Amino acid sequence: MTRTPLMAGNWKMNLDHLEAVATVQKLAWTLDDAKHSYGDVEVVVCPPFTDLRSVQTLVEADKLGVKYAAQDVSKHTHGAYTGEISAKMLAKLGCAYTVVGHSERREYHGESDALVNEKVRALCAEGITAIVCVGEPLEIRKAGEHVAYTLKQVRDCLADLDDNHLAQVVIAYEPVWAIGTGEVATADDAQEVIGAIRGLVVEMYSAEIADSMRILYGGSVKSSNVAELMAKPDVDGALVGGASLDPVEFAKICRFREHVI
């Protein structure tokens, strides 16, 4: 089974809509300029909500190959939920993906696995692929319980989904201690947990679903370390934070195949 690599840039709360347009334009030019098709690598940017309409307009007008995603979604479909954004609204904007359960949402907004599960369902109902984030904090890693901790998150976030919904799920393993710290997990660390996640999906659903599901690594990914991570058999892409704000650096990450390890 060959899984199409996925490189997603999570901008977090950075870049306004004008900066977003300039960044996506430069990213697309840089990828095209190198005369390398990025057709065999899916390239996704995840800007703030306020940028999405501008990015959609640019991508559609210039027929760019870059896709775009939201960073969160409401579990509700519509109604009196001040400040929330529904999956239907994101679908209308042409979002192919949406990040859910990022550790920053879990930490600063108290999001639980049960809520993430509801958000995954809301996205599946609108045909949007959820990028479900999981990963352990430092104390859990130090205690050697990182695999069990992360698998429990996966189990609870993906509980009782239909097979056709699972086809729309991507998992991102982001150890919390590696996010924004410059401390990247080793490729072996990433493979250990990501391999275990794939094993769990076999157990929970089927070998076929596990085989086709893309599982990403996130946490201090840069052009200098991406190739080593991508060389691991179960690592199918990266969820990139800080380094995705620089379109030239992010384009280099997307072209990981050209790097020498």
Does 241 bind ligand 13P (CB under 6 A)? Our answer is: yes
Stretch of 49-57, 199-207, 216-224, 253-261 lying at the interface with ligand 13P (CB under 6 A) = 216-224
CB 247 within 8 A of CB 27: yes
Please, which residue, 10 or 153, has the CB nearer to ligand 13P?
10
Please, which residue, 33 or 215, has the CB nearer to ligand 13P?
215
* Whether residue 165 lies in the annotated active site: no
CA atoms of 133 and 50, how far apart (whole Å)? 22
Does 225 bind ligand 13P (CB under 6 A)? Our answer is: no
Please, which residue, 61 or 132, has the CB nearer to ligand 13P?
132
Chain position carrying tokens 């996010």 = 179
Q: Which of 65, 82, 170 has the alpha carbon at shortest distance from 123?
A: 170
* Whether residue 107 lies in the annotated active site: no
Which residue in 15, 44, 240, 251 binds ligand 13P (CB under 6 A)? 240
**Site string (14-53) toward ligand 13P, x via CB under 6 A:** ----------------------------------------
Alpha-carbon distances, residue 200 vs 50, 147, 153, 159 (angstroms): 36, 11, 11, 12
CA atoms of 166 and 93, how far apart (whole Å)? 22
CA atoms of 210 and 232, how far apart (whole Å)? 16
CB 43 within 8 A of CB 254: yes
- Site residues (vs ligand 13P, CB under 6 A): 10, 102, 174, 179-180, 218-221, 239-243
- Give catalytic residue positions: 102, 174
